[in-house]
Structures are given as structure tokens and as C-alpha cells.
Amino acid sequence: MLNNMTIKKKLVILSIVVLSVISLFGIKSSYETYNNYLNIKDTSALIKLSVKMSAVLHELQKERGASAGFIGSKGKKFVDILPKQH
């Protein structure tokens, strides 16, 4: 079959095959890049949430320490700290 074709037709077929392969690799690369973008976006949101959660946990730890100090001192220490807790 290929023996009966002209060189021009053979080059056209070869060019189509090569361009198709290059296009498929380009599409695959674009898809992977887009997936990486989505993963980074999700990770960014989780990091922001983690920072907020860390601040809340820190406040809870401060309150726990102040409450323990208040109870341990039988109400003599940390009297002014507990009402100021955010």
C-alpha cells in the first residue's frame, strides 16, 4: 500500500501522525498543569483554614491555662484575664 503512494502523500501522512502525537502530548501536559493548579488552589484554602484554626486553638489553650490558674488560686489570680478572652 505504501509502495504505491507518492512521496508527497507519504510525507502528508507522516506529518499528520507526528502532529497528532505532539498535539496529544500538549493536551496531556495542559491537563496535568490544570490539575496541579486545582491542587494548589485547594491546598491554599486548607492552609488559610489551618491558620485560623491555629489561632482558635491558641485562644482555647490560653483560656484553659487561665481557668486552671483561676481555679488553682481559688479565684485570687487571673480574675481580670478571663473576661478579656476573645
**pLDDT 10s digits, 11-56:** 999 999 999 999 999 999 999 999 999 999 999 999 999 999 999 9
**pLDDT 10s digits, 59-74:** 999 989 988 998 998 8
- What single letter denotes the amino acid at residue 86? H
| Predicted TM-score (pTM) above 0.75 | no
Domain boundaries, the chain: 2-84
Q: Is residue 77 a contact partner of residue 70, using CB atoms and an 8 Å limit?
A: yes
Where do the H-state alpha helices sit in the chain? Answer: 7-72
CA–CA dist 70, 44 (Å, integer): 39
